[in-house]
Amino acid sequence: MTPGQDRKNRRGVPAVYATRRDLLKAGVGSSVALLLSSGRLGAQPRPLIERAIPSTGERVPVIGIGTARRWEAVTTPAEMAPLREVLRQFSGRGGKVIDTAPSYGTAESVAGELVADLGVRGSVFLATKVGAAGRQAGLEQVEASFRRLRTSRVDLIAVHNLRDIATQLQTLRELKQEGRIRYVGMTTSFPRQYPEFERTMRTETLDFIQVDYALDSRGAAATILPLAADRGMAVMINLPFGRGRLFQAVQGRALPPWASDFDCTSWAQFFLKYIVSHPAVTCCVPGTAKVEYLLDNLGAAQGRLPDAATRRRMEEFIERL
């Protein structure tokens, strides 16, 4: 039985999580456990909004999972359990994009182990990175990623923070030719790297770029996002919450009533819907290590999205805080 085909009881709750205690044991937060066990969140998952990767037309849901930080120091079964449940629910609800990196401690191997264990390799989109100097070091790092991710084909490998970009891009293109990776890209989350990032976007053919973009940190929208659209590059957004900075900015505040006009029921969805409603954005990878956050974040890939005028209103709202 695949994760999407769990037996459901009459309330639509997977039979394996029939009680609140089961849910809590699996590392599900108490408020979500209550909702799931009451059937309110356990109903049939709704389809997720998808976007096409320009170089192939393949579609991916706009919300994925980032594995920096919370997946980086995971060694015990108790630490693995909530992540396993995150991935099981993610995949069961149609989620695909999982972003990791060899520099994220245990994240790559934990993701590889859980994806293999859950038997979901066929449905998820594994994105990792190479951050090494020199051809040999890059090749060795990539081979280690294949082993840790327990797969013979990685969906996307991106050059991490532009490190030794020319050398690593050449290696990645060879791997793509050999059919071992499907897409090639590069990443940054540092505005000081934007000029070099933009130059590289203009001169190289890339399937994906990954860049930071958040409601209160919109520098990428000036040139990088429009350039990606012009150059036919898919865009994966990192740091969508500014590592939690945005939640601090709105602490103690209620959502504005007009958030319901675009089916937004939480601050996380407010921040994520702002990002994925940018026309150049393909997907976004919020750091996710709790089921409660996963279900919340996937809500941003459902229902209506803000239009251009509402996006401006959201910007003004955050600027006034």
- Rounded to the nearest whole angstrom, what is the least distance from the CB of residue 83 to ligand NAP in the complex? 12
> What token pair was written down for 273?
């819907």
Indicate whether 70 belongs to the interface with ligand NAP (CB under 6 A): yes
Q: Which is nearer to ligand NAP, 161 or 277 (CB)?
A: 161
Indicate whether 270 belongs to the interface with ligand NAP (CB under 6 A): no
Q: Which is nearer to ligand NAP, 219 or 242 (CB)?
A: 242
Among 149, 144, 143, residue whose Cα is nearest residue 117: 149
Indicate whether 273 belongs to the interface with ligand NAP (CB under 6 A): no
Question: Helix, strand or coil for residue 47?
Answer: coil
* Strand residue runs (E) in the chain: 50-52, 59-61, 65-66, 97-99, 125-130, 154-159, 181-187, 208-212, 234-238, 283-284
Q: Which is nearer to ligand NAP, 118 or 158 (CB)?
A: 158
Stretch that binds ligand NAP, among 109-117, 135-143, 184-192, 305-313 (CB under 6 A): 184-192
Amino acid occupying residue 63: I
DSSP 8-state assignment for residue 278: S
As to burial, measured by CB atoms within 10 angstroms (0-12 exposed, 13-18 middle, 19+ buried), residue 217 is: middle
Indicate whether 161 belongs to the interface with ligand NAP (CB under 6 A): yes
- Rounded to the nearest whole angstrom, what is the least distance from the CB of residue 268 to ligand NAP in the complex? 3
- What's the CA gap between 254 and 262, in Å, rounded? 16
- Rounded to the nearest whole angstrom, what is the least distance from the CB of residue 221 to ligand NAP in the complex? 16
Question: Site map for ligand NAP, 274-313, x if CB under 6 A?
Answer: -----------xxxxx---x--xx----------------
Number of chain residues interacting with ligand NAP (CB under 6 A)? 29
Q: Which is nearer to ligand NAP, 73 or 308 (CB)?
A: 73
DSSP 8-state assignment for residue 287: B
Q: Which is nearer to ligand NAP, 66 or 112 (CB)?
A: 66
**Neighbour count for residue 26 (Cβ, 10 Å):** 17
Tell which positions 235-254 bind ligand NAP, by CB under 6 A: 238-244, 247
Binding residue for ligand NAP, selected from 210, 282, 302, 310, defined by CB under 6 A? 210
User: Any idea which residue has 């319901």 for tokens?
Assistant: 260
- What's the CA gap between 89 and 237, in Å, rounded? 22
Q: Which is nearer to ligand NAP, 45 or 308 (CB)?
A: 45
Q: Which is nearer to ligand NAP, 54 or 287 (CB)?
A: 287
- What's the CA gap between 182 and 165, in Å, rounded? 18
- What's the CA gap between 57 and 4, in Å, rounded? 24
Query: Where along the sequence are the contacts to ligand NAP (CB under 6 A)?
Result: 66-70, 99, 160-161, 187-189, 210, 238-244, 247, 268, 285-289, 293, 296-297
